[in-house]
């Protein structure tokens, strides 16, 4: 279902200091935005923002960027972050199409990417729209540092199988692969809003970490 545009979003986002409205101008300069040289971690598809907001709270020594394509989604994520008792200062929000990520980030500028519950685009003809399609992986490999990582979670078994094949075909080293995250013994897992919903419905969560093949 198409997301309905919220007319309150533009004004709200223009006034929020955590929102970067012209991200292309900071390509290669994100450390200036945060005012430090801490590692940069980015979530493509932040949804309501609960996951990355909690990460930012727990890890003040890391700079976090939450990215979404839709302005209205970023608006909702920002509102949720601002309702937090301790709004993290190491968090920024952007909205842009992930296919343009190389226009936003310099080569090797990002240390880690998070892909959580991305749209599975189930029809075969739409495979190239999936965020783990090899065309996207090539771009991620460019913006990630040497040995930078992608942390990927999904409840969709078809998307997970497809993603494993794409990572493998593109030369990424996969580790900590599990088909049942919540029974894997992993500590400190932060659940997204979707993850909580699907888990309560009895779905198992698939997860893996992939290491950048670029040397």
| Residues in a beta bridge with 25 | none
**Count of all residues that appear for the chain in the document:** 215
CA 193 – CA 33 distance, rounded (Å) = 28
Cβ-based burial of 3 (10 A; exposed 0-12, middle 13-18, buried ≥19): exposed
Marked catalytic residue, from 6, 97, 119, 180: 119
| Residues in a beta bridge with 115 | 152
CA 30 – CA 104 distance, rounded (Å) = 9
The answer for 91, left when phi > 0, alpha when psi is -120 to 50, beta otherwise, is beta
Q: Does 119 qualify as catalytic in the annotation? A: yes
Q: What b/e readout covers 53-72, taking b as 16+ CB neighbours within 10 angstroms?
A: bbbbbeeeebbbbbbbbebb
**Greatest CA separation found in the chain?**
45
- Catalytic residue numbers? 119
């Amino acid at each position: 279902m198409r997301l309905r545009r919220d007319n309150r979003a533009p004004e709200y986002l223009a006034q929020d200091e955590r929102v970067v409205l012209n991200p292309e101008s900071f390509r290669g300069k994100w450390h200036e935005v945060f005012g430090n040289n801490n590692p940069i971690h980015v979530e493509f598809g932040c949804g309501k923002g609960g996951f990355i907001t909690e990460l930012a709270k727990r890890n003040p020594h890391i700079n976090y960027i939450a990215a979404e394509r839709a302005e209205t989604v970023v608006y909702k994520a920002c509102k949720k972050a601002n309702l937090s008792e301790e709004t993290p200062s190491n968090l920024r929000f952007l909205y842009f199409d992930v296919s343009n990520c190389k226009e936003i980030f310099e080569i090797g500028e990002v240390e880690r990417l998070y892909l959580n519950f991305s749209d599975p685009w189930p029809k075969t003809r739409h495979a190239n729209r999936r965020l783990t399609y090899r065309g996207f992986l090539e771009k991620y490999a460019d913006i990630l540092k040497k040995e930078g990582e992608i942390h990927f979670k999904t409840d969709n078994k078809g998307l997970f199988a497809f993603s494993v094949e794409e990572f493998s075909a593109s030369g990424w080293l996969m580790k900590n692969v599990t088909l049942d995250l919540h029974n894997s013994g992993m500590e400190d897992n932060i659940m997204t809003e979707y993850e909580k919903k699907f888990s309560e419905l009895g779905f198992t969560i698939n997860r893996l970490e992939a290491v950048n093949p670029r040397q």
